[in-house]
């Protein structure tokens, strides 16, 4: 199974858990809080790291760091935009 489909499955399950938790909140608050919490944890502890790992493959971290060389490149691009 591709990572993309696993991420989508986790996101759908997490949102479903959160929605279900809010729908039963008036009947059983303790269970509702567990569903809402597990859905939130699924999004932020499973889906987000998997997504970031998938999207960052093959990219160099130094390209995204603010160092003198990259700042000069950004300033040069801004000057070129202003000239147009």
Tokens 């996101």 correspond to what residue? 11
Domain that holds residue 76: 3-83
Report pLDDT for 45.
97
- Which residues, in sequence order, are CB contacts of 45 under 8 Å at separation 6+? none
For residue 24, the Cα-to-chain-centroid distance in whole angstroms is 27
Number of domains in the chain: 1
pLDDT per residue, tens digit, the chain (84 aa), is: 689 999 999 999 999 999 999 999 999 999 999 999 999 999 999 999 999 999 888 888 887 788 888 888 889 988 888 877
Report pLDDT for 42.
96
To the question of pTM greater than 0.85 for the whole model, the response is no
> Are the beta carbons of 39 and 17 closer than 8 angstroms?
yes
């Amino acid at each position: 199974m591709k990572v993309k489909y696993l991420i989508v499955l986790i996101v759908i399950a997490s949102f479903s858990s959160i929605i279900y938790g809010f729908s039963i909140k008036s009947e059983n608050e303790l269970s509702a809080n567990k569903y809402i919490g597990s859905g939130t944890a699924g999004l932020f502890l499973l889906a987000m790291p998997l997504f970031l790992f998938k999207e960052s493959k093959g990219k160099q971290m130094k390209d995204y760091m603010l160092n003198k060389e990259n700042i000069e490149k950004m300033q040069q691009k801004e000057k070129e935009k202003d000239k147009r």
